[in-house]
Structure 1
Amino acid sequence: MVSILKNNENFTPYVFYTSFLKEVAKSSKDGFVVFKLVEFGDLNVFDSNYRIEPITIPLLLSLSEQLSKYYNEPIDLLLYKNNATKEVLNFLFKSDFFYVGGNNKNPIYPFGRNILKFDNSFFGDFEKKDPRPEHKVRCYSLNDYNLKNKIEIFSNEDERRDFLISEYVYIVREHFQELLFDNINTSNKADYYVELLSELITNGVLHSKSNTFALMFVNKFLTKFSISDNGIGFEESLKSKTENFLYKPFELKYAIDQFRFLDVNSNILNNLHIIIETLYFSALKDRRGLFDLMISVVLGSNGYFRLHSDNSQVIISNRMNRELNDLNILRNKLFDFHRNILINKITDNRYNDEMISIKNSILSAFLGLYANLCNRYNNDFRYSSLRFYNVKFKGVHIEVEIPNA
C-alpha cells in the first residue's frame, strides 16, 4: 500500500519523481498496487496536515492509467474524510480529479477514464467555497468528441494533425484562456500559448495512443501548467519520422552519443539524448511546438520549463539564456522561411541551401547547449538542469512555471 500524501509534506512534482515513484515501484514488486490518499488515514487527525501541488494531478492520473493498463483493472484508492483530510479531499473533488479518474458516465461531468476505484460515499458536505472553474484537470483523448472517427476521413497524418489542432484550438481556448489573461507574461500572448498548447495536446493524443491529462493553475505569483501522458514516448515517435532535406532522424542523438561527458547508466543517458533530439527536431519544424514553448517560457517570461521522459528530466531556466538566445534567433530565421514558403505556396527548392545552413547552425548550437548542461551537472549535480531517476516513468511529462511579473 502506497500513501500519496504524507503528513506535513506538500505533494509536488519533485516529491512525485524523487520518492513517490520509488515507493510505487517497490510496492508493485510485492503485488498489486493500492493507493492510500493520506498517510495516517483516520489516525492522528489533529496532528496531520496534507497538501498537494495542483500541477501534480496530471502526473498522478497518468501514473494511475499506466498501472491500470498493466494490471488490466482500476487501481484501488482508499479515501478518508476527517478534519485532516477534508480540505485536500474537497480540492481534489472540485478539481474533477475523481470524475476523470473514476468511472463517471454522467455527461454533465467529465467522462471517467476508469483508472481509479474508490468509495463515492466520501464525497458531499464540502466547503461552500468553490475553486475557480478553470482550475480543473482536463483529459484529452481521440475517444472524445468522436475524434477517432472524424480523422479517419483524412488520408495522411499531416491532414489528421491539422484537423486535430483546429479542433483543440477551440477546446484549449475554452479551458485555459481566462487563466492566460490573468498573468501579465501570458495575457499579451494568449493566442500564441493557445496555439502551442493545442499542438502539444494534439501530439499527445495522436502519438501517445493514450489519454493526455493537463491542468493550469494561477495564483498572484505565477502560472503553472502540467501536461502528461504515458504513451509511446519520444523515441518511438521519432522513429516514425521520415527523412527530409532538413531533418535526418536521430542525427543529433548520434552525435552526442559520441560524447562521454556523463558517468550515467547508458539506458538512462539514452533517455536524456532522446529529449535533446526531440527539442532539436521541434526547432526545425514548420509549426510552433515544444521548442517554442520552452523559449517563450524561459526567455519571454523568465520562467522554468521541465521536460521528463522515462528516467530523465531536463530543467531549462534563465541560467541558459545565452545559449537559448542564439537558438531562438536561428529558429526564427528558419521559421520565417517556412512561413514564406507556406504563404506564397512555393513548391521549388529555392530556399533549401539557406535553410540547410541555418539547420546546421541549430545543430551546432544544440551540441554546445548539451555540453554546457553536462558540465554544469558534473560541477554540481544537486543544482544542475539534469535529473536522473532509477524508476522509469513512461511517457512524456511537461511542466512550466511562468512568473506574474
Structure 2
Amino acid sequence: MLLPDASIDVASQKAQGDQMRELCHIYLGEDATSFDFYNNVLPQLHNFFRQNSGRELVLDFSEVSFISPLVVPNIFTIGYILKKHFGTPVELIVPWKPKLLSYLNDISFFSIISDYDLFVIDDRYVGGLNTNTVYPGCFCYCFEPDMAYEDVRYKLKKSINIITDLATSITGVKSDGSDLLNNLTELCYNACLHSDNLAFATIQTNLTDNNRHKKAYLAISDCGNGLYHSLSKKYRANEASPVTVSTDEFLSLSEDVRNVYAILESILFRQQYEVFGIFHVVGNVTATGGVVRIHSNDTQVILTQNSFQRYIDHPVKLAKTLKDKLVQVQREDIELRFSPVRKSSGKLKGVHIEIEVPIGVKR
C-alpha cells in the first residue's frame, strides 16, 4: 500500500511540475453525476476551446468523492475525442482516495484507459488497493468498430448475473436474461457500427450498497456524428420516413431543435419492428419505473413511464411540446433538473444512453 508520506511526496513533486506548465483543469463535482457531467463538465470544456488560450488541458478528479456509473462511459468518450483532437492523450488526475480508486479499479476503469491509451495517469497513485469492492458483474466495456455482433454479446456476458437479475425484475418472472442481453448487444453493436469509432458501456448495480433503493445502471456512449446526422442520411435515401414531421421539415430543422426531434425519431423508428432496438429497451425499462436518458450532441431527453407512453400515443404533439419546453429552459423559465429536455452549452459528439432501473423489486 502507498504510505501517506509517500503520497504527500508525490503530490509535492507533481505540484512543482505543474507550476512549470500552464494548465487548464476541467473539474468534476464532488458527486460526479450525469447532471454534473452535462451541465458542469461539458460547459467547462466548451469554454476551454472557445477561449483557445494555449493552456494544457487536464481532466481533474480531485474534488470527486462519488462518480456515477452512468458517467463513466462519457469519461472514456471524452478521453478518446480529446486524444484524436490533440494527437496525444490528456492527463487525468485521480487523487489518493482509496475508496474511489478501488471502485475505479474494480470496474476495469484503469485497464480500459491503459488498453486504449485514453488518458495519461500518474501510476504512483494507483496500486496496493482493496479489490472486489463492487457487486460481481459490475464492469465497463470498450467495443471496437469492426467487432462482430457475437463478439459484443460475448463481452457483455461478463455481467450476465446483473442482466439476469434485471430481466427478472422487469418481467416479474424468473428469466435467463437472454432477451435483455440481446437488446443490450444490439445497442452496443449499433453504437460501434454507426459511429465507426470506439464505443463504451457499463453495467453496474448498487446491490451491495446500504441504499435501500436498489437499481441497475446501464450506459452506452459512442463518438459518432449523432442521431440527426444518421437519420438525415436514411431520410434522404428514402430508407425511412420521420414520424413527427415530414421528411422535408426534418431535413430543414434549425440547429436549436433538430436534436430533440432526432432523439424522438430514433426511438419511434423501431416501434413498427419486432427486432431488438432502443424502443423496446425504453418500453421495458420505463414500464417498471425506470428512467432512460438519451443525449445527442447538445440535447438530452428524459423518458419515464408516463412520458414514453404519451410519445407513442401522440408523437407529433409531444415533439412540439418538447421543443417548447426547450425554449423555456433556455429562457430559464423551467428549473433544468426537472425539465424533460435539457440543452447544454457544450457539445459531445455521438449518442449517449443512460438507463436507471429498479432491480430486485417484487412485482
TM-score (norm 2): 0.78
Matched, 1:141 2:133: no
Letter in 1 for 2:62: V
Aligned residue pairs total 316
* Aligned residue identity for 2:217: K
On the 8 A contact 1:242/1:248 being kept in 2, the answer is: yes
Deviation of the 1:286 alpha carbon: 5.0
- Equivalent positions of 1:342-353 (< 5 A) are none
Match of 2:196 in 1: 209
27 and 89 in structure 1: CA distance in 2 versus 1, 3 angstrom threshold = farther
Following TM superposition, by how much is the alpha carbon of 1:2 offset from its aligned partner in structure 2, in angstroms? Answer: 2.3
Deviations 1:295-329 (A, max 9, x none): 11112x121011000011110112326425x55xx
Q: 1:126 aligns with which of 125, 129, 133?
A: 129
Structure 2 residue 180 is the aligned partner of structure 1 residue 227: no
Distance 1:402 1:91 in 2: 21
Aligned to 1:397: 352
Q: Which residue of 2 aligns with 1:196?
A: 183
Please give the alpha-carbon distance, in whole angstroms, between the structure 2 residues aligned to 1:372 and 1:272: 10
2:229 — aligned with what? 236
* Residue 240 to residue 54, structure 1, CA distance change in 2 (3 Å): same
Distance 1:192 1:243, change over 3 A: farther
Distance in 2 (alpha carbons) for counterparts of 1:89 and 1:3:
19
Instruction: Give, in angstroms, the shift of residue 249 of structure 1.
Output: 4.2
1:277 and 1:268 map into 2 onto residues whose CA distance is: 16
TM-aligned CA deviation for residue 3 of structure 1: 4.3
Cα distance in 1 for residues equivalent to 2:79 and 2:309:
39
Answering whether residue 317 of structure 2 is matched by residue 368 of structure 1, we say yes
* Cα offset, 1:282, TM superposition: 2.3
Inter-partner Cα distance in structure 1 for 2:245 and 2:98? 48
- Checking the alignment, whether the CA contact within 8 Å between 1:5 and 1:50 is kept in structure 2 is no
Structure number with bigger Rg:
1
Does residue 305 of the first structure (1) align with residue 289 of the second (2)?
A: no
Q: In the alignment, what sits opposite 2:33? A: 12
| DSSP-derived class of the 1:267 partner | coil
Distance 1:128 1:198 in 2: 28
C-alpha deviations, 1:250-283, integer Å up to 9, x for none?
464447959xxxxxx9313111121122222222
- How far 1:211 moved relative to its partner? 0.9
Kept after mapping to 2: 8 A contact 1:2/1:24: no
Q: 2:169 aligns with which of 171, 180, 185?
A: 185
Q: Using the aligned pairs only, state the percent identity.
A: 23
Shift of 1:401: 0.9
Following the alignment from structure 1 to structure 2, what is the Cα–Cα distance between the partners of residues 319 and 286? 22
8 Å contact from structure 2 (residues 42, 344) kept in 1: no
Is 1:277 aligned to 2:226, yes or no? no
Instruction: Give, in whole Å, the separation in 2 of the partners of 1:268 and 1:243.
Output: 21
Shift, 1:376, TM fit: 5.8
Match of 2:10 in 1: none
Q: Which runs of 5+ in 2 are unaligned?
A: 1-23, 208-213
Deviations 1:315-348, CA, capped at 9 Å, x for gaps: 0112326425x55xxxxxxxxxxxxxxxxxxxxx
Deviation at 1:232, TM superposition (A): 2.2
How far 1:202 sits from its partner (Å)? 1.1
The CA deviation at 1:175 is 2.5
Cα distance in structure 1, aligned partners of 2:269 and 2:128: 50
